[in-house]
Structure 1
Amino acid sequence: MADHLSKHNISISHTYYYPVSIANWEGSLPSIDEEMTRFPCILVIINGSGLLDLQEQQYELSRGCVMLWHNSHELKVSTQLHTSFKGTLISYRCLTSDGIQPNVLKHPEPLRNCSLNILSLTAELERASKQLSERKPFQFQQLFVELLAVLYDELEGQQQKNNAWMEQVLHYVDTHFHEDVTREQMATIAQVSPEHFSRAFRRHTSQTFSDYLALLRIRASQNRLLYDMPKLEKLAQEVGYKEGAYLSRKFKQLVGLSPTAYHQKKKRVVALNSNHTACLLALGITPELGVYSSWMESVNPVNPLQKLYEFGINTSSFYNTIASTRPDLIIDYYTVKGSKELLPLAPVLGLPFMDMSWREQFRHIADVVERQQQVEEWLAHYDEQIWAFNQKLDQQLGKRGTAVLWEIGTSSAYSIHSSHGRGSQILYEDIGFRPPGSLLKHGIEQRGFVEEEIEAIADHPADHIFITGIPSNPGTKKRMKRLFQSESWLKMEAIKQNRMYLIEQPDLFYGYDPLSSQAQLHELMRVLISQK
């Protein structure tokens, strides 16, 4: 029994549960001593059926239902019961030896179709309460704790069931919001009553179903308006409304502006990663809030009030910090969870990771903030630098050959593909090197990177080897020293030809954006041209 409870985090070493009142309920609510009303209670329906009104909510009860309350004060009920209706009402106490708030069984809805084990234990507990035996003084307590443990299992199962249908419903609404979606349809999918669906949906999302649906539709409208201004009738039909006038009214209620005004206004933008912050900075826009890499901060000082910290901050503070800027647009890499959590604040432009190069992301963001001319001018200047550097490499190296760039972690080494950046986009896309065949065999193109033991770097020979930094960890430094002194390392052609380049700038090579790419290009060219 102790093991059964401990797996549910009910610590019997510090918390004691015991019943203080067990009463039958047949036709009317049993009278409860005033002293008992402050205790949590359990109602188990043994037979019959009926309707129960509790705190302005009506529930249909039948055999096998269990209701749980925090305290008996809440038992202000009226009932419409069949003559066969019978229930058992149990009040109990929780005592802790360390002052910690005890676990109390609570659930806002009836637990339905509970196991026969609960009915059996309840009946046995009721009989034991009338026949307390001096020879078995702990039998009564043992039965009650066993009942609590089984009820806790039922609660867990109910929660899993609720989560399953709720996730199914949310996925459907998120992908079909532009259709004629109703509460009744969703309740049918969930196989619950519309009333139960509404209560459960609000508890799970903190919104009514209609408000949630309206939020999805208006945010989709805002995302559409980032690019052009379609006719309102067309836009309304795209997002699930029948009339443009209705869309305009709902839009203004949520956004505070008309669709036309939102389309035309200069957007207050928040960037949730350093790559997209850099895209905005390269276009001459400082975001209201942005994530900055340490390299970006070393190049240009950042106003602390405009810096968003990714780590070391709890979810609530992160959300409130973003909310305080009143953003018109949030930009990030796409994640379902992140997009949904931030949707109440503003539309989220989620860009796919690995599926778009930094140039494509740069252009996409420029379209949204109406900086198309600036982005093309920036990229044209960047391409001029690439052309000039390639001219120099043609003279010095001729044919490029293979190259590999290693990022050294505390315990592993990583070779990054150009889809992940880290300087590889410069090597493979801009200045014409190729990944060594061994990395291609290891699936670097499909996975985006290859992870190896530090000593295994020597298993991937290339004409040019770049290492962007060695961690300060003493153990990692020792492993790198052993690698550099190993026979397999020293016999590689790149080492013999002095074509291994140690660049101690890991922060610079972390970025995958226009500013970082430009700086990475200059750094790679510096070591390639200066080292003969």
Structure 2
Amino acid sequence: MKRVTQNMQTRNAGRSLPNPHSFYIPVRVMALDQASFNGDNPTQPFTSFLVVITRGSEVIELDGERIRLSGGHILYSDSSVDITLPRSHKLQGVWIEYAAISGNIRTFSPLNHRQPVRSCPSHVSTLAVQLLSDWNQPEQRKPFALQALFTELLSELYDSSAEYAEPPSQWIDRILQYIESHYNEDLTREQAAGLAGITPEHFSRSFRKFTGQTFNQYITLLRIRKAQQRILTGAPNLSTLALEVGYSEGTYLSRKFKQVVGISPSSYHRKSKSVVSLNFNHTASLHALEVVPRLGVYSAWMESLQPVPSRKKLLDEGISSSGLYERLSSARPDVIISYSLPDKSKQLLSVAPVIEIPFMQMDWREQFRLIAEVTGRQPQAEAWLSLYDWHCHQANQMLDRRIGDRGTAIVLELGTEAAYCFSSSYGRGAQILYHDLGFRPPLGLVAEGLLEKGYLEIAFHNIARYPADHIFITSSREAAEALEPLQSLLHPVHQHHTDDSPGGRIYFLNQPCMFYGFDPLSSEAQLKVLVQALTS
């Protein structure tokens, strides 16, 4: 044994073993009212000290800077500072000096003298007072009691300091996004807390405060919502689905699914779904399928066709309103349909699974078919689209006889200071002109990125730079001419192409609300209006 010890000493001679840990030991503890009576000079340089203010209020100086301390403040420094306390100060509290052994002193950010922590938790003050009492009664304390008490104080102080470091509002979204990307992996509270840079205990408190659920409850709910989404859009068998969402076997997924949803995955797949729609395009798709949503957003054009009871109607105002959230919760839908808006999906996680439809990545037919799949109405959707395609065929035969080659076309929506034109991915009737009727967008607009961007803003005086054979304005002639910059542009052109005109024929459709839709019902109505304008 002696030889081994010597060998170890020889092996370690001349080098220090790395030690990432630090250990903190109190070396001086006293009541704060004694701190200003150290000789004639109340100004002392200190290193590694902690002051817990329990009562009173006073202005002190730290490195020449005047700050006010009051009951509930904590003052901390791990570097040499000059602190001046008035001789007759009114502060009560505990002054603690301590030493760090091995490793480097870690700053309990932001517990420094530049930013004194307010609203100190009462249990931290209680521990500091207990430490002072035990320090002054050495004959009554047990071995290691002071170290244990001081360690507990630092631990509590560190946990509470996280509340003053990075606010949860700054890290919660980052953590939720991480969970969204890794929900099907083995995630632990400790991992998430490490990513947030806080203790697991503080993480749990803040996470539950912001989400209304514990970390494990949130993970479970997210996995079940993902499973519901897959069931609604053609899920694989239960065992494969379980692996997709982070469970090892189908029976465990089925048990968790029933705990959250109330029924088994197979029952959920078979049942008739109650739906909430957060966009009027999707509400119109549901009505085309003869599905009346429990709650839906309706456009002014849809309401002009058939009034909607207020109990069935949502305002298109986003999902941040607590009143709107309460309405969705009370509706108890089986599924919510919305354009892809991640923040909404997180907020609605506790209500129902959200089917997110990518914005500008799916044409109205693809969106219609997806909604039909979610609601189990695929045959009705295909029958509707077959009839629509027949109407397009009839329209093209008529246009072949009347105008022959289609040429170029543009749809303009007029704002107060500019006009907007659209590609087929954005609607406004462009999906019909370019996709169903064979017209082409002007090359100038294509060159400026119309197809990639979806729409372009055009200053009124620049409209003539994009000549087209057919120009459709969704508003009325009166509305267009009321815009002074357009008066000289519109008057010379109606049937004839002139040098100062932006193209060939101009059509005033007088249907801005109807052309705003990008859905089966709006497209059907837009087709009729466009063909009527072209053939009149």
Fold shared by both chains (TM-score > 0.5)? yes
Distance 1:204 1:499, change over 3 A: same
Aligned equivalents of 1:75, 1:363: Cα separation in 2: 60
Correspondence for 2:82: none
Q: 2:304 aligns with which of 283, 298, 302?
A: 298
Correspondence for 2:179: 173
Cα contact 2:475–2:508 (8 A) shared by 1: yes
Aligned equivalents of 2:98, 2:341: Cα separation in 1: 46
Cα contact 1:271–1:277 (8 A) shared by 2: yes
Correspondence for 2:343: 337
Distance 1:108 1:303, change over 3 A: farther
Correspondence for 2:76: 45
Aligned equivalents of 2:178, 2:34: Cα separation in 1: 44
Distance 1:393 1:493, change over 3 A: farther
Distance 1:471 1:276, change over 3 A: farther
| Aligned residue runs from structure 1 range 456-467, under 5 A | 456-467=462-473
Cα contact 1:458–1:488 (8 A) shared by 2: no
Q: Secondary structure at the match of 2:452?
A: helix
Correspondence for 1:523: 529
What is the identity percentage for the equivalent residue pairs of Structure 1 and Structure 2? 44
Correspondence for 2:271: 265
Cα contact 2:466–2:502 (8 A) shared by 1: no
Q: Is the radius of gyration larger for structure 1 or structure 2?
A: 2
Q: CA deviation at 1:469?
A: 0.7
Aligned equivalents of 1:450, 1:387: Cα separation in 2: 30
Distance 1:28 1:291, change over 3 A: closer
Is 1:455 paired with 2:504?
Answer: no
Cα distance per residue 1:262-318 (max 9 Å; x no partner) = 111111100100110011100010100111111111112212211111139961111
Is 1:203 paired with 2:203?
Answer: no
Aligned equivalents of 1:254, 1:241: Cα separation in 2: 15
Instruction: Select between 385-394 and 60-69 the one with higher mean Cα deviation.
Output: 60-69
Distance 1:194 1:500, change over 3 A: same
| Aligned residue runs from structure 1 range 177-188, under 5 A | 177-188=183-194
Q: Secondary structure at the match of 1:41?
A: coil
Cα distance per residue 1:220-244 (max 9 Å; x no partner) = 0111111346443332222112233
Q: Secondary structure at the match of 1:500?
A: strand
Q: Secondary structure at the match of 1:343?
A: coil
Q: Secondary structure at the match of 2:273?
A: coil
Q: Secondary structure at the match of 2:507?
A: strand
Q: Secondary structure at the match of 1:420?
A: coil
Correspondence for 2:392: 386
Cα contact 2:414–2:420 (8 A) shared by 1: yes
Cα contact 1:40–1:72 (8 A) shared by 2: no
Correspondence for 1:254: 260
| Aligned residue runs from structure 1 range 361-510, under 5 A | 361-469=367-475, 477-485=483-491, 492=498, 499-510=505-516
Aligned equivalents of 1:496, 1:446: Cα separation in 2: 23
Structure 1, gaps ≥5 residues long: 1-21, 51-59, 88-106, 113-153
Correspondence for 2:365: 359
Distance 1:284 1:409, change over 3 A: same
Cα contact 1:405–1:465 (8 A) shared by 2: yes
Is 1:78 paired with 2:127?
Answer: yes
Q: CA deviation at 1:333?
A: 0.5
- The TM-score normalised by the length of structure 2 is 0.72
Cα contact 1:470–1:476 (8 A) shared by 2: no
Structure 2, gaps ≥5 residues long: 1-31, 36-48, 58-69, 78-95, 100-107, 136-145, 151-156
Q: Secondary structure at the match of 2:406?
A: coil
Is 1:159 paired with 2:166?
Answer: yes
Instruction: Select between 181-190 and 484-493 the one with higher mean Cα deviation.
Output: 484-493
Cα distance per residue 1:428-476 (max 9 Å; x no partner) = 0000000011111111011111101122212111111111115988995
Distance 1:30 1:315, change over 3 A: closer
Which amino acid is the alignment partner of residue 42 of structure 1? H
Q: Secondary structure at the match of 2:356?
A: strand
Cα contact 2:52–2:75 (8 A) shared by 1: no
Distance 1:497 1:249, change over 3 A: closer
Cα distance per residue 1:321-356 (max 9 Å; x no partner) = 111110110001101111111111000000101110
Which amino acid is the alignment partner of residue 251 of structure 1? F
Q: Secondary structure at the match of 1:463?
A: strand
Distance 1:264 1:67, change over 3 A: farther
Is 1:64 paired with 2:112?
Answer: yes
Cα contact 1:49–1:62 (8 A) shared by 2: no
Which amino acid is the alignment partner of residue 45 of structure 1? Y
- The TM-score normalised by the length of structure 1 is 0.72
Give the aligned length.
433
Correspondence for 1:115: none
